[in-house]
Amino acid sequence: MASRKKVLLKVIILGDSGVGKTSLMNQYVNKRFSNQYKATIGADFLTRELVVDDRVVTMQLWDTAGQERFQSLGVAFYRGADCCVLVYDVNSSKSFEALDGWRDEFLVQASPHDPENFPFVVLGNKIDMEESKRMVSQKRAMTWCQAKGNIPYFETSAKEAINVEQAFQTIAKNALAQEAETELYNDYPDPIRIDSENSQNYGCNC
């Protein structure tokens, strides 16, 4: 059984700029919140080991720039993702409305084998802010998640470490399930690779 191999779960965190992707990731991995984070340029990742069911897995969390303009570069990072985390700011309707776009973009760029069942998790971040500032109700978010195939939904605060641990545990779990799926697929030759390899070396395209 292949599933006993050491597992790397690749998780992509997407969402509008300033919704707290970097903060969430750092809260989960480093257990701290800093108000010194800058806008992410390019991409970076952090890893953390955790136990899912009875397995120790390594989760590699990819943090990317939030501005759409940079997403065309995402392909290289999206490839081989096991789970995609969509983050919005509960105090910004726009960031919530953008989730559709992020989801579609991801599916196009990462082109997972089974887009219908690819695991997403939605995080509504910054719930530590005053209730009066809140622009997206829990109900509204959950309705959206349900409509998109029962995407798990968490309301989090990276600042106060609320629900972060739980959310990422679920992310890991779903990613692990996805990983197992992908392994099955990997027994077959992957026709996409040729393309993606070409797209990596820009050379003459420009």
Partner 1 sequence: MAESSNPNLTENRRSTSSDTSSLINISSTQAHSPATTNTSFDHVSDHPLAASLKDASNNGGKARLLYCKSHVSIHPTSFNKDNISGYLGIVEVDHSTPHSLAPNLESSVENGQKETLITWVPNELLDRMDEKDRQGYKTMEGRTLAQNAEEEEDGFVFVSLPPPKGEKYAFSIPITSIYSILVYPPSLSHWYGSATFNLMGGISLPTLYFHDDESPLLASPNPPNPLQPLPRAQWGFPPFLSLLESRATFVRSRLLTSKKNMGAELWLVNPSKSDREVHEAGLEEEPETVPIQRKPAQSTQPAPYPPKQTYPNSAVLNTATPKQTLMTSLSNLTNLSRKAASQVLSHPLAQPVVPHLPPAVRSLVNVPGEWERTGRLPPKTGKKNNADVASEFESARLYLARWARVVAEEGEKARRDELASKARIQRRKSATSLSASQSGSLSPVEDLESSLGVFSMLPKSYSKRPIPNPTRTPQHPITAREWESLSAQGRDELYVRREIFKRGFSDSSEPEEIKARKEGWEVLLGIIPWQIGGLGGGESGKEKRNKQREEARRAKRQVYAGLKGKWRKEAAREDEVNGGREDWREEWHRIDVDCRRTDRNQAIYAVPSSAAHKGDHEKEGGGANTSLRRGSLGADSQGEEEEGSAAALNPHIAALRTILMTYHTYSPELGYVQGMSDLLSPIYVVFDANEADAFWGLVGVMKMMESNFLRDQSGMKRKLSTLQQLISVMDPELYAHLERTDSLNLFFCFRWILINFKREFKFEQVIKLWEVLWTNFYSDQFVLFVALAILQSHRDVLIRYLTEFDEVLKYANDLSGTIDLDTTLAQAEVLFLSFRSLVEDLDKENAQLDEKNKEGLRHRRINSDVTGSSSSGKKGKGKEKSDEDAMEEESKKKDRKFISDDLRGLLIGWRGS
Task: Establish if 193 lies at the interface with partner 1 (CB under 8 A).
Answer: yes
Is there a contact between 127 and 156 (Cβ–Cβ < 8 Å)? yes
**Closest distance of CB 104 from partner 1, Å:** 18
DSSP H or E stretch at residue 62: strand 55-64
SS3 content of the chain, % helix, strand, coil (to 5): 45, 20, 35
Among 18, 107, 111, 162, binds partner 1 (CB under 8 A): 18
Residues 159-178 that bind partner 1 (CB under 8 A): 165-166, 169-170, 173
Residue type at position 88: Y
DSSP H or E stretch at residue 161: none
Residue 62 C-alpha from the chain's centroid: 7
**Closest distance of CB 202 from partner 1, Å:** 5
**Closest distance of CB 136 from partner 1, Å:** 13
Among 5, 114, 117, 137, binds partner 1 (CB under 8 A): 5
- Give the residue with the Cβ less far from partner 1, 115 or 199: 199
SS (H, E, C) 110-122: HCCCCHHHCCEEE
Cα–Cα distances in Å, from 159 out to 22, 32, 99, 126? 11, 8, 22, 7
Residue type at position 11: V
Residues 85-144 that bind partner 1 (CB under 8 A): 91-92, 94, 121, 129-130, 133
Residues 34-73 that bind partner 1 (CB under 8 A): 35-39, 41-51, 53-54, 56, 58, 60, 65-67, 69-70, 72-73
Task: Establish if 194 lies at the interface with partner 1 (CB under 8 A).
Answer: no
- Give the residue with the Cβ less far from partner 1, 17 or 137: 17
- Give the residue with the Cβ less far from partner 1, 104 or 190: 190
Closest CA to 67 of 24, 46, 45, 98: 98
Task: Establish if 206 lies at the interface with partner 1 (CB under 8 A).
Answer: yes
Closest CA to 33 of 128, 122, 99, 154: 128
**Closest distance of CB 119 from partner 1, Å:** 11
